Structure 1
Amino acid sequence: MSPAHNKSPAVAAALAALDAGGSPEKTTLRDAVRALLTDLAQRVPGRSVEVRVPPYGAVQCIPGPRHTRGTPSNVVETDGVTWILLATGRLSWAEAMAAGKIKASGIRADLSPYLPEGPDFGSPEGVP
């Protein structure tokens, strides 16, 4: 499967804005976050972890026990820019955790084995 940013103009535009030292437009950020969340949910299907990027979206992923009511026991929450950086390999899970950019709870809430979302996410052109 090709990485989500190679299929999504919004992810490419968001990365270009960040690389230029700016911030992505709100709709670009929203669309990029949603594309990357969708890609994660498709690549690692399951319902044991909820990944939240408010206000843009949330998905459930990773095989294991699922929750049916209330707050799930395994939750990851971050902001839109951090999610884009994590999903594209521009920021490591450990760096984001150390900087306090991720709130993660539960024994399955470590997404580091699943990020970045594709082998070529570190470069905007898809070339390592």
Structure 2
Amino acid sequence: MARARIDDDLGRAALTTMLAIAEANGIDQADGPALAASVDRSTLALVVRYTLQLLAEQAPGGTVEVRVPPYAAVQCVEGPKHTRGTPPNVIETDAGTWIALARGTLSWADARASGRVHASGQRADLTGHLPVLSA
């Protein structure tokens, strides 16, 4: 069963709350892990799920699975659809890194080079699909 779509107003409000808390605490908004650590788990989960939802909407398909444990995973990017077992193209990262990628405050190349993103498979590359919202 598909999850209900997160309303844009709700998703953006959670992100705005996260950024306001970070600003109030002097946290660099480009520092994804610190940004993620600044909010409660339910707000963080909502922001992660919302931004993954945006990715899946902007890059529909089933070729790549993007995982941000323990919060969510989505399949996206046009191409051969995967239906059983472990997908051949998997991207996994932590919540803070994902939020930085989704906002465009961290580039895909820098995230890969620093080891903050683990990607396997020939098509496991989100270069042309990020950011999903503006910083």
TM range (shorter): 0.7 to 0.9
Alignment deviations for residues 32-87 of structure 1 (CA, whole Å, 9 cap, x no partner): 00000001101111000000000000000000001111000000000011110000
**How many residues are paired up?**
117
- Work out the percentage of aligned pairs sharing the same amino acid: 51
**Unpaired segments ≥5 residues, structure 2:** 1-7, 28-33
Partner of 2:66: 51
TM-align CA RMSD: 1.8
Q: Find the aligned partners of 1:6 and 1:99 in 2 and give their Cα distance.
A: 32
Q: Find the aligned partners of 1:18 and 1:49 in 2 and give their Cα distance.
A: 31
Partner of 2:17: 13
Alignment deviations for residues 95-117 of structure 1 (CA, whole Å, 9 cap, x no partner): 11111100101111110110011
Partner of 1:89: 104
Kept in 1: contact 2:11–2:47 (CA 8 A): no
CA shift at 1:24, angstroms?
2.1
Kept in 2: contact 1:11–1:35 (CA 8 A): no
Partner of 1:61: 76
Q: Which structure is higher in helix share?
A: 2
**Unpaired segments ≥5 residues, structure 1:** 123-128
1:32 counterpart letter in structure 2: V
